[in-house]
C-alpha cells in the first residue's frame, strides 16, 4: 500500500502546515484577549482585585504583581509568558488556580458538546439526503419546515421546554441538574468523560444514569444545529445530484445506490464537513446557555458564575480555552477535508 | 425603487404567500415595537403579588409571573428593546462590513491580507463566547450588547462582501466601466456595491434573526438588560426557575415571541432574495 | 441500405418549465446504420443535445418524451422498463459530453471511475476491472496509463479528461456512441487529436456514432452524413458536400453562408435576403496614410509578470496603423488576453513601452488612465456578452455611460439622441434601449457592448474574442457589423481570437502568440496559406477546412 502511505504522508504534511498557519491566529487570539481584558476596562488592577471593595493598598500590590506599572508591550510579553507557563491567574470564587479549575471541568463540557454533535450529525445528514432525493415531496417539505423552525428556537427555550415535557409532565427524565445523581458514586476518573469512565469501570447502571442526565442537554443543543446541517446537506446533495458527473454515472448505467452514495453523497459531504466546524463554534457558544439551564458543571457555567461575580481571571481563561479548542477543531476539520477531497493540495 | 420593481415585488408576494406573511409579521413587529407601551393591557413593571404565577386565563392570556405582572403586556413592551438591539447591531456591522469587504475584495494585496488576518482572529473565537467576553470587558450595559453583537457579526459581512466583489472584479462590465473612464473608487462604489447589496440585504435579514437570538441569549445569562426591564431573554431566565414546577407559560410565551420574530426575519430574507434577483423578472 | 441500428420516428420531447410546457424536439425522424458516423448539427436551442439525451435516457426530470418512438435494434426503448433500460445504457449505447472535466467525478480516481463503469455491466472482481480499465486507457492513447489510473480529473488536461470519458464510454463495447459537443472548449490542436482518436476508435470497433455539434465544418470533416436541426425540427439531411455546395433549406443556406471558411469573405457571411439594413456599405478602399505619420499604436518589448511564476507575456512588440486591423491569435494560456488588457491600459505592464499616436502612454498607471485624454481613444469589446454588461444598467445606461464620463455630455435630449444614434449604427432597435441585459438575446447584448465601445468615437478598438460566445449565424452578423463600423470610422482593430478563419477574414495582419511570446506574424492570408513555423502550421491544419476536405475526397 505505497499509495496509502503516500496519502498518509501528504495528510500529515498538510496537518503540520495547517497547524503552523494557525499559530498566527492563536497569537492574534492571545493579543486580542489581552487587549480586551487588560486595556479596555478602566483599571485592570481593580478589575483583577479580590472584589469591588478592595482597598487602595491591595490594588497597588496587584498592580505591581501584574506589572501594570510597566509599558503595554512589556505587559503583553509578561502576559504571553504567563500563559505559556499555564498560569492563568487564580479564581477568587473557588480559590484555585484557573488552570486547575478549567482542567477539572473541561471534560464535562466536551462530553456534552460531542454528544450533541453526534446526535445532530446522525439525524441531519440522512434527513438532508432524503429531502434532496425527492425534492418537492412531503419528506422534503417536512425537512424544510423543520429546518426553518429549528433555527428560530433559542437553545435555552428548547432546553427548558424539554425539561417541562420530559421531567415535569412525563416524568421520564431525571432531575435536570448536573451530570450524575448527587448520591451516585462516580467511577475512577480516567478520561473525565463519564460515559467512557463508567464503561471502563464496567458499571452499566452508572453509565445508564449518566446517559439519562446527558440526553436532554445534548438534545437541546443538537436541536439548534440540526437545522443548518440538514439544510446544507440537502442543498449540496441537490447540487451534487444535478452535476455533470452524475449524468455521466447514469449514462454508463451505474446502479442507483452507487450513483447516490459513491458519486453524489461523497461529493455532497464536503461542504457538510466545512460547516461542521462552524456549527461546532455555535455549539461552544451554546454551551454557556445549556450549562446554565441544566446546571451542568462545565467550563462555561464556571466562567459564567465568575463573570456575574466580577471574577475576571476565570472568564479570560475560559475565552482562551474556547478559542484554543475551536482552533484545534478547525485543524481536525481541515485534515478531514483534505482526506475527503483529493483536490486539496499540501500547499 | 422603480414601479417595475414594486410590481415585481407584488407579483412575487402573490406567488409566494409565505413571504407576504413574513413581511406582514415584520411590519406587525415594528408596529408593536413603536406603539407597545400604549397597547399593552397592563403595566409591565408594577407587581401584583395576589395574582402571582396564575396560568393563562381570559384576563391574562399569557398568564402572570412570580410578581403577578401580566406576561403578555411584558412581551409587547419588550418588543421595542429586542428589535432596537438587533437592528442597530446589524445596521452597524452591515455598513462597516460592506465597505471594508468591498474595498478588500477589489483591491486585494496587503490591505486585504491584513483585514483577512483580523477576521481570522475574530472567527477563531466561538462568537457567543466572544460577545460575552466583550460585554464583560466593556461593562455590563445595553449599548455594549449592541457593540458586541455588531462586532461578532462583522466578519460575516466583510467576508461576504469581499467574496462577492472578488468574483465580479474581473467581469467584463467592471472592466468596461474602467474603459469608460471610471476610477477604481467609482467602480467600487457605483458599480460593485449596488450589485452586491441585494445579496447582502438577504444576509442582513437572516442576520437580524440571529442577532435577536444572540441578544436574548446574553440577557438570559444575566448580561446587558437588568430586571425589571421587560426583555424576552430575561423573561425566559426568570421563568426558568419555575419550569420544574410546571409553570410553562413563563418560558413558552417569551420563547414563542422570540421564535416568531426570528422566523419572520428569516422567511423575509429568503423572500427578498427572490424579489431582488432581476433574473427572475420576466 | 445497411441494417438500421437506431431509428427515431417522429420524436417529440417536452419540458415543463416555469413558463409552461416548452417543446424542445418537435418530430424528429432519422435512422442510423451499424457502424455509421452521423453528424447532428444545429445552433443553441435547436434541440440537438435534447435528442441525444432522449436516446440515452438522460433527460432531466422536467423533460419527457411525449410522442414518437426510438427503435434500438428493433425494440422501442421509450417503452422499456427501468432495469432493461439501465442494462442498455452504458453497455449497448454510451455518451460523452461537452466539458469533460465536469463530467468526471472530481474526487474519485479516473481508473476507479472506468472500473465502476465496467463493473456496472460485467461480473468480475475489482482488480480485473482495474486491469481492464488500464487497457482502455492504453486504447485511448493516454501516456503513462499506469500512473494516470490513480489521477484525479483536476490533475489532467481537458483533452485527457475527454479521453478518459471516451474510455469509460467504450468500456462495454457499445454499438452506439453519442458524442455531444465533445471538443467544444478544447484548444484547436487538442480538438483535432481528440476527434481523430474518436473517429479512429469508432471505425476500429464498428461503433455507430452520432456527433452532435454546432460546427458544420467539424461534422463535414468526420461524418459521411449530416443532419441539420433548427428549433426542434430536422430541416435537412445530406452528404456534407451537397450540404455545402447546394443547401436546399433556407436555414441551411444561412448556416452554410455564416460558417467562416478559409476562403470566405465578410460580405459572403450573410445571404443577401437576410442581411437587410445591415448590408455592408461599399466604401472606396482607404488611401494609404501619408508617409511620416506615426503609427496609431506602437508597442515595444512589452512584458507582464504576475506575482509568482513565469512571465505571462514577454518581449511583445507590434504596431497598428490608423484604420488597420490586426489579429492576435493563440490557444488558451498564450497570453493574448493579458496583452489586450495591457494595450487597453486596464492593467500595468511589468516592462516595455506603449505609445499612442507617438505619445508614450505605457508609463501612466492603469489606476490613473481614466483621466488620460487617450482613454476615449482606446476602447474594448468583451468576450462574453453575458457578463460584459452591468446587470443593473439598462441598455441605454450602458451606452450613455462612456458619453457621460468621457464625452463630456450631460443627461438630456442631446444624450438621448446620441445614444439612439449609436444604437442605430449597431442595428439595435431603439425600443430595446429600456431593457436590462437579462431581457436581451446574446446577439443584442453583443450589439450593446459594441455600441458602448464606439460611442465616444475611439481610434483603436480592442476586441477580445467578441463572438466566441455567439452562434455562427449571430457571429456572422456581428462580424459584418464590426467590419462596417471599422470602414466608416477608420477605426483600428486589435482582434483577439482563437478562431483562425475569423481572423483571416477580419484582419489585414495577424500575430500568433504562444506561451506569451510571438511565434510568427505577417499578412493574414499569406501567413495562413503558407505558414513559416511549425506551430502556426499545426494551428492551421487543425482547423477543419471544408475546401481541403473536399479536395482530398476528390483525390
- The ipTM is 0.85
Tens-digit pLDDT profile for residues B146-163: 999 999 999 999 999 998
In contact, C398 and C452? CB cutoff 8 Å: yes
**Per-residue pLDDT, C164:** 94
Q: Does the distance separating the beta carbons of B177 and C401 come in below 8 Å?
A: yes
Lowest-pLDDT range, A197-211, C116-130, C439-453? A197-211
Q: What is the dihedral of CA B271, B273, B274, B275, to 10 degrees?
A: 90
**Per-residue pLDDT, A53:** 60
Tens-digit pLDDT profile for residues C313-351: 989 999 999 889 999 998 888 888 899 999 999 889 998
Q: Does the distance separating the beta carbons of B183 and C367 come in below 8 Å?
A: yes
**Per-residue pLDDT, A171:** 82
**Per-residue pLDDT, A109:** 94
Question: Percent of chain B having pLDDT more than 90?
Answer: 23
pLDDT at position B62 over 90: no
Q: Is residue C313 part of a domain?
A: yes
Give contacts of C97 with chain A, Cβ < 8 Å.
244, 247-248
Tens-digit pLDDT profile for residues C19-46: 778 889 999 999 999 889 999 999 888 8
**Per-residue pLDDT, C276:** 46
Higher pLDDT, C311 or B164: B164
* Residue in B2, B12, B172, B278 to test binding to C, most C beta-carbons within 10 Å: B172
State the pLDDT confidence band at A50, using cuts at 50, 70 and 90: low
State the pLDDT confidence band at C254, using cuts at 50, 70 and 90: confident
Is residue B263 less than 8 Å (CB to CB) from chain A?
yes
State the pLDDT confidence band at A1, using cuts at 50, 70 and 90: very low
Backbone angles phi, psi at A215, to 5 degrees: -65, -40
**Per-residue pLDDT, A45:** 59
**Per-residue pLDDT, A347:** 43
Nearest Cβ partner of B180 from C19, C367, C405?
A: C405
Angle between the B127-138 and A266-293 helix axes, to the nearest 10 degrees?
40
**Per-residue pLDDT, C115:** 94
State the pLDDT confidence band at A2, using cuts at 50, 70 and 90: very low
C85: nearest CA in chain A? A253
CA distance C337 to chain B (A): 12
* Residue in B114, B118, B121 to test binding to A, most A beta-carbons within 10 Å: B121
In contact, A164 and B251? CB cutoff 8 Å: yes
Q: Is residue C203 part of a domain?
A: no
**Per-residue pLDDT, C453:** 93
Report the CATH number at residue C347: 3.40.50.300
Is residue C165 less than 8 Å (CB to CB) from chain A?
yes
Closest listed residue to residue C454, CA positions, set C422, C494, C416: C422
Q: Which cell numbers in the block locate residue C312? A: 505571462
Is residue C48 less than 8 Å (CB to CB) from chain B?
no
**Per-residue pLDDT, A73:** 82
Q: Does the distance separating the beta carbons of A267 and C105 come in below 8 Å?
A: yes
Q: Is residue C341 part of a domain?
A: yes
Tens-digit pLDDT profile for residues C195-205: 999 999 999 99
B254: nearest CA in chain A? A157
pLDDT at position C467 over 90: no
Higher pLDDT, B60 or B81: B81
Mean pLDDT of B103-117: 88
Q: Does the distance separating the beta carbons of A153 and B221 come in below 8 Å?
A: no
Q: Is residue C266 part of a domain?
A: no
Q: Could you give the CA distance from residue B89 to residue B96 in angstroms, rounded to a whole number?
A: 11
State the pLDDT confidence band at B1, using cuts at 50, 70 and 90: very low
* Residue in B22, B116, B132 to test binding to A, most A beta-carbons within 10 Å: B132
* Residue in A240, A245, A266, A341 to test binding to C, most C beta-carbons within 10 Å: A245
CA distance A258 to chain B (A): 34
Higher pLDDT, A100 or A15: A100
Query: What own/partner pairs with CB < 8 Å and gap ≥ 24 does A194-201 have?
Result: A194/A107, A194/A108, A194/A111, A195/A111, A195/A115
B122: nearest CA in chain A? A29
Q: Is residue C97 part of a domain?
A: no
A262: nearest CA in chain C? C108
Q: Please give the mean pLDDT across all residues of chain C.
A: 87
Q: Does the distance separating the beta carbons of C154 and A245 come in below 8 Å?
A: no
B261: nearest CA in chain A? A152
List Cα–Cα distances, A238 to A68, A135, B173, in angstroms: 58, 8, 31
Backbone angles phi, psi at C397, to 5 degrees: -55, -40
Q: Where are the beta strands (DSSP E) in chain B?
A: none
Q: Could you give the CA distance from residue A283 to residue A288 in angstroms, rounded to a whole number?
A: 9
Q: Does the distance separating the beta carbons of C94 and A252 come in below 8 Å?
A: yes
Backbone angles phi, psi at B137, to 5 degrees: -75, -40
Mean pLDDT of A316-340: 87
**Per-residue pLDDT, A129:** 93
Lowest-pLDDT range, C59-73, C136-150, C394-408? C59-73
State the pLDDT confidence band at C309, using cuts at 50, 70 and 90: low
pLDDT at position A182 over 90: no
Q: How far is CA C463 from the centre of its chain?
A: 15
Tens-digit pLDDT profile for residues A288-321: 999 999 989 999 999 988 888 777 788 888 988 9
Q: Does the distance separating the beta carbons of C375 and B181 come in below 8 Å?
A: yes
Give contacts of A318 with chain B, Cβ < 8 Å.
129
Q: How many CB pairs under 8 A join B and C?
A: 71
Q: Does the distance separating the beta carbons of C19 and B282 come in below 8 Å?
A: yes
pLDDT at position B280 over 50: no
Q: Is residue C540 part of a domain?
A: yes
pLDDT at position A233 over 60: yes
Lowest-pLDDT range, A186-190, A239-243, B244-248, C527-531? A186-190
pLDDT at position A95 over 90: no
pLDDT at position A81 over 60: yes
Provide the domain limits for residue C365. 297-554
pLDDT at position C234 over 70: yes
Q: Please give the mean pLDDT across all residues of chain B.
A: 85
Q: Is residue C362 part of a domain?
A: yes
Helices and strands (H and E) in chain C: how many: 21, 20
Residue C193, CB-side half-sphere exposure with 13 Å CA sphere: 16
CA distance A248 to chain C (A): 6
In contact, A226 and A150? CB cutoff 8 Å: yes
Give contacts of C165 with chain A, Cβ < 8 Å.
248
**Per-residue pLDDT, A20:** 83
**Per-residue pLDDT, A79:** 82
Question: Percent of chain A having pLDDT more than 70?
Answer: 90
Q: Please give the mean pLDDT across all residues of chain A.
A: 84
pLDDT at position C286 over 50: yes
State the pLDDT confidence band at C98, using cuts at 50, 70 and 90: confident
**Per-residue pLDDT, A108:** 92
Is residue C151 less than 8 Å (CB to CB) from chain A?
no
Tens-digit pLDDT profile for residues B179-193: 888 888 888 888 888
CA distance C147 to chain A (A): 11
pLDDT at position C228 over 60: yes
CB neighbours of C492 closer than 8 A, spacing ≥ 6? C296, C297, C320, C321, C322, C323, C324, C325, C326, C459, C460, C461, C486
B184: nearest CA in chain C? C367
**Per-residue pLDDT, C554:** 45
Q: Is residue C358 part of a domain?
A: yes
pLDDT at position A3 over 60: no
Question: Percent of chain A having pLDDT more than 90?
Answer: 28
Give contacts of A262 with chain C, Cβ < 8 Å.
108, 116
Number of separate domains in chain C: 1
CB neighbours of A70 closer than 8 A, spacing ≥ 6? A78
pLDDT at position B281 over 50: no
**Per-residue pLDDT, C1:** 45
Q: Which chains neighbour B (Cβ–Cβ under 8 Å, 3 or more pairs)?
A: A, C
Mean pLDDT of C360-371: 88
**Per-residue pLDDT, C381:** 92
Mean pLDDT of C354-365: 89
Q: Does the distance separating the beta carbons of B136 and A322 come in below 8 Å?
A: no
pLDDT at position A265 over 90: yes
Closest listed residue to residue C88, CA positions, set C176, C27, C11, C165: C176
Rounded to whole angstroms, the maximal C-alpha distance in chain B is: 77
Give the A window 225-244 contacts with C, CB below 8 Å.
Answer: 242-244
Specify the DSSP element, H or E, that contains C27.
strand C20-33
Give contacts of B223 with chain A, Cβ < 8 Å.
307
Amino acid at each position: 500500500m505505497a499509495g496509502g502511505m503516500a496519502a498518509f504522508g501528504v495528510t500529515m504534511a498538510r496537518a503540520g502546515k495547517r497547524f503552523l498557519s494557525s499559530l498566527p491566529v492563536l497569537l492574534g487570539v492571545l493579543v486580542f484577549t489581552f487587549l480586551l481584558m487588560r486595556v479596555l476596562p478602566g483599571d485592570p488592577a481593580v478589575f483583577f482585585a479580590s472584589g469591588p471593595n478592595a482597598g487602595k493598598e491591595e490594588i497597588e500590590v496587584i498592580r505591581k504583581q501584574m506589572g501594570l506599572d510597566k509599558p503595554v508591550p512589556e505587559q503583553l510579553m509578561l502576559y504571553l509568558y504567563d500563559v505559556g507557563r499555564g498560569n492563568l491567574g487564580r479564581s477568587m470564587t473557588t480559590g484555585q488556580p484557573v488552570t486547575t479549575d478549567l482542567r477539572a471541568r473541561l471534560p464535562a463540557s466536551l462530553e456534552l458538546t460531542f454528544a450533541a454533535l453526534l446526535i445532530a450529525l446522525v439525524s441531519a445528514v440522512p434527513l438532508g439526503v432524503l429531502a434532496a432525493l425527492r425534492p418537492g415531496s412531503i419528506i422534503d417539505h417536512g425537512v424544510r419546515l423543520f429546518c426553518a423552525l429549528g433555527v428560530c428556537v433559542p437553545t435555552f427555550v428548547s432546553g427548558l421546554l424539554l425539561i417541562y415535557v420530559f421531567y415535569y409532565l412525563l416524568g421520564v427524565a431525571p432531575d435536570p441538574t448536573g451530570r450524575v445523581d448527587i448520591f451516585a458514586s462516580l467511577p475512577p476518573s480516567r478520561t473525565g468523560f463519564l460515559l467512557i469512565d463508567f464503561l471502563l469501570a464496567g458499571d452499566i447502571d452508572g453509565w445508564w444514569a449518566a446517559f439519562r442526565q446527558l440526553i436532554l442537554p445534548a438534545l437541546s443543543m443538537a436541536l439548534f444545529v440540526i437545522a443548518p446541517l440538514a439544510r446544507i446537506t440537502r442543498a449540496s446533495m441537490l447540487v451534487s445530484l444535478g452535476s455533470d458527473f452524475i449524468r455521466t454515472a447514469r449514462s454508463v448505467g451505474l446502479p442507483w445506490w452507487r450513483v447516490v452514495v459513491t458519486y453524489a453523497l461523497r461529493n455532497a459531504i464536503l461542504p457538510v464537513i466545512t460547516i461542521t466546524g462552524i456549527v461546532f463554534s455555535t455549539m461552544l457558544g451554546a454551551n454557556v446557555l445549556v450549562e446554565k439551564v441544566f446546571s451542568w458543571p462545565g467550563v462555561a457555567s464556571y466562567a459564567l458564575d465568575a463573570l456575574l461575580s466580577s471574577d475576571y481571571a476565570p472568564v479570560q481563561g475560559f475565552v482562551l480555552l474556547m478559542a484554543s479548542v475551536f482552533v484545534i477543531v478547525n485543524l481536525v476539520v481541515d485534515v478531514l477535508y483534505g482526506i475527503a477531497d483529493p483536490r486539496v493540495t499540501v500547499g | 425603487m422603480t414601479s417595475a420593481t414594486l410590481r415585481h415585488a407584488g407579483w412575487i408576494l402573490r406567488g409566494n404567500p409565505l413571504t407576504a406573511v413574513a413581511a406582514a409579521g415584520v411590519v406587525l413587529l415594528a408596529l408593536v415595537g413603536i406603539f407597545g407601551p400604549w397597547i399593552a393591557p397592563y403595566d409591565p413593571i408594577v407587581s401584583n403579588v395576589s395574582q402571582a404565577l396564575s396560568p393563562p386565563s381570559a384576563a391574562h392570556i399569557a398568564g402572570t409571573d412570580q410578581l403577578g405582572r401580566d406576561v403578555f403586556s411584558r412581551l409587547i413592551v419588550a418588543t421595542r428593546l429586542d428589535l432596537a438591539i438587533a437592528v442597530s447591531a446589524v445596521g452597524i456591522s452591515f455598513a462597516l462590513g460592506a465597505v471594508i469587504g468591498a474595498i478588500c475584495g477589489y483591491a486585494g494585496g496587503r490591505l486585504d491580507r491584513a483585514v483577512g488576518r483580523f477576521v481570522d482572529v475574530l472567527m477563531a473565537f466561538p462568537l457567543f463566547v466572544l460577545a460575552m467576553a466583550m460585554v464583560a470587558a466593556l461593562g455590563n450595559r445595553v449599548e455594549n450588547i449592541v457593540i458586541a453583537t455588531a462586532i461578532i457579526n462583522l466578519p460575516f459581512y466583510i467576508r461576504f462582501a469581499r467574496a462577492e466583489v472578488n468574483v465580479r472584479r474581473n467581469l467584463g462590465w467592471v472592466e468596461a466601466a474602467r474603459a469608460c473612464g471610471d476610477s477604481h473608487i467609482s467602480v467600487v462604489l457605483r458599480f460593485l456595491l449596488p450589485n452586491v447589496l441585494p445579496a447582502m440585504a438577504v444576509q442582513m435579514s437572516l442576520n437580524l434573526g440571529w442577532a435577536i437570538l444572540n441578544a436574548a441569549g446574553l440577557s438570559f445569562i444575566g448580561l446587558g438588560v437588568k430586571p425589571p426591564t421587560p426583555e424576552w431573554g430575561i423573561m425566559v431566565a426568570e421563568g426558568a426557575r419555575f419550569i420544574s414546577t410546571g409553570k410553562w407559560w413563563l418560558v413558552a410565551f417569551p420563547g414563542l415571541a422570540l421564535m416568531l420574530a426570528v422566523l419572520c426575519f428569516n422567511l423575509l430574507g429568503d423572500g427578498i432574495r427572490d424579489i431582488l434577483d432581476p433574473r427572475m423578472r420576466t | 441500405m445497411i441494417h438500421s441500428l437506431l431509428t427515431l420516428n417522429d420524436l417529440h420531447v417536452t419540458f415543463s418549465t416555469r413558463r409552461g410546457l416548452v417543446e424542445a424536439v418537435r418530430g424528429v425522424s432519422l435512422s442510423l446504420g451499424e457502424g455509421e458516423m452521423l453528424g447532428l448539427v444545429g445552433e443553441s436551442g435547436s434541440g440537438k443535445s435534447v435528442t441525444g439525451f432522449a436516446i440515452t435516457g438522460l433527460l432531466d426530470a422536467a423533460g419527457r418524451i411525449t410522442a414518437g418512438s426510438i427503435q434500438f435494434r428493433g425494440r422501442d426503448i421509450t417503452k422499456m422498463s427501468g432495469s432493461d433500460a439501465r442494462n442498455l445504457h452504458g453497455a449497448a449505447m454510451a455518451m460523452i459530453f461537452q466539458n469533460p472535466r465536469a463530467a468526471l467525478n472530481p474526487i474519485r480516481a479516473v481508473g476507479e471511475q472506468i472500473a465502476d463503469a465496467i463493473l456496472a455491466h460485467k461480473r468480475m472482481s475489482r482488480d480485473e476491472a482495474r486491469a481492464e480499465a488500464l487497457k482502455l486507457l492504453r486504447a485511448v492513447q493516454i501516456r503513462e496509463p499506469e500512473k494516470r489510473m490513480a489521477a484525479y480529473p483536476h490533475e489532467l488536461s481537458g483533452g485527457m479528461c475527454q479521453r478518459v470519458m471516451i474510455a469509460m464510454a467504450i468500456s462495454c463495447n457499445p454499438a452506439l456512441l453519442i458524442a455531444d459537443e465533445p471538443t467544444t472548449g478544447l484548444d484547436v490542436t487538442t480538438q483535432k487529436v481528440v476527434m481523430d482518436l474518436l473517429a479512429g476508435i469508432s471505425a476500429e470497433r464498428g461503433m455507430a456514432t452520432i456527433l452532435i455539434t454546432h460546427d458544420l465544418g467539424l461534422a463535414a470533416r468526420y461524418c459521411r452524413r449530416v443532419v441539420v436541426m433548427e428549433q426542434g425540427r430536422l430541416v435537412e439531411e445530406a452528404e456534407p458536400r451537397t450540404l455545402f455546395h447546394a443547401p436546399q433549406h433556407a436555414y441551411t443556406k444561412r448556416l452554410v453562408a455564416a460558417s467562416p471558411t478559409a476562403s470566405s469573405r465578410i460580405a459572403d457571411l450573410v445571404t443577401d435576403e437576410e442581411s437587410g439594413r445591415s448590408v455592408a456599405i461599399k466604401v472606396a478602399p482607404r488611401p494609404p496614410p501619408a508617409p511620416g505619420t506615426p503609427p496609431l499604436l506602437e508597442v515595444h518589448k512589452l512584458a507582464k509578470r504576475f506575482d509568482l511564476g513565469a512571465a505571462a507575456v514577454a518581449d511583445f512588440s507590434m504596431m497598428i496603423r490608423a484604420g488597420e486591423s490586426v489579429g492576435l491569435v493563440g490557444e488558451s494560456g498564450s497570453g493574448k488576453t493579458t496583452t489586450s488588457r495591457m494595450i487597453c491600459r486596464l492593467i500595468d505592464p511589468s516592462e516595455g513601452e506603449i505609445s499612442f499616436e507617438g505619445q508614450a502612454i505605457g508609463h501612466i498607471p492603469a489606476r490613473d488612465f481614466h483621466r488620460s485624454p487617450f482613454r476615449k481613444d482606446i476602447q474594448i469589446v468583451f468576450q462574453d456578452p453575458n457578463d460584459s454588461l452591468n446587470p443593473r444598467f439598462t441598455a441605454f445606461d450602458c451606452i450613455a455611460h462612456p458619453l457621460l464620463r468621457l464625452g463630456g455630455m450631460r443627461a438630456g435630449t442631446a444624450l438621448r439622441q446620441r445614444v439612439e444614434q449609436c444604437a442605430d449604427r449597431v442595428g439595435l432597435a431603439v425600443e430595446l434601449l429600456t431593457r436590462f441585459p437579462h431581457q436581451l438575446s446574446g446577439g443584442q447584448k453583443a450589439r450593446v457592448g459594441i455600441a458602448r465601445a464606439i460611442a465616444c468615437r475611439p481610434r483603436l478598438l480592442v476586441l477580445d474574442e467578441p463572438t466566441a460566445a455567439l452562434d455562427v449565424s449571430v457571429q456572422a452578423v456581428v462580424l459584418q457589423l464590426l467590419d462596417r463600423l471599422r470602414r466608416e470610422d477608420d477605426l483600428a482593430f486589435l482582434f483577439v481570437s482563437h478562431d483562425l478563419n475569423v481572423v483571416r477574414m477580419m484582419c489585414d495582419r495577424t500575430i500568433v502568440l504562444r506561451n506569451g511570446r510571438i511565434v510568427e506574424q505577417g499578412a493574414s492570408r499569406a501567413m495562413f496559406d503558407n505558414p513559416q513555423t511549425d506551430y502556426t502550421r499545426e494551428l492551421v491544419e487543425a482547423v477543419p477546412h471544408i475546401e481541403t476536405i473536399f479536395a482530398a475526397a476528390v483525390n
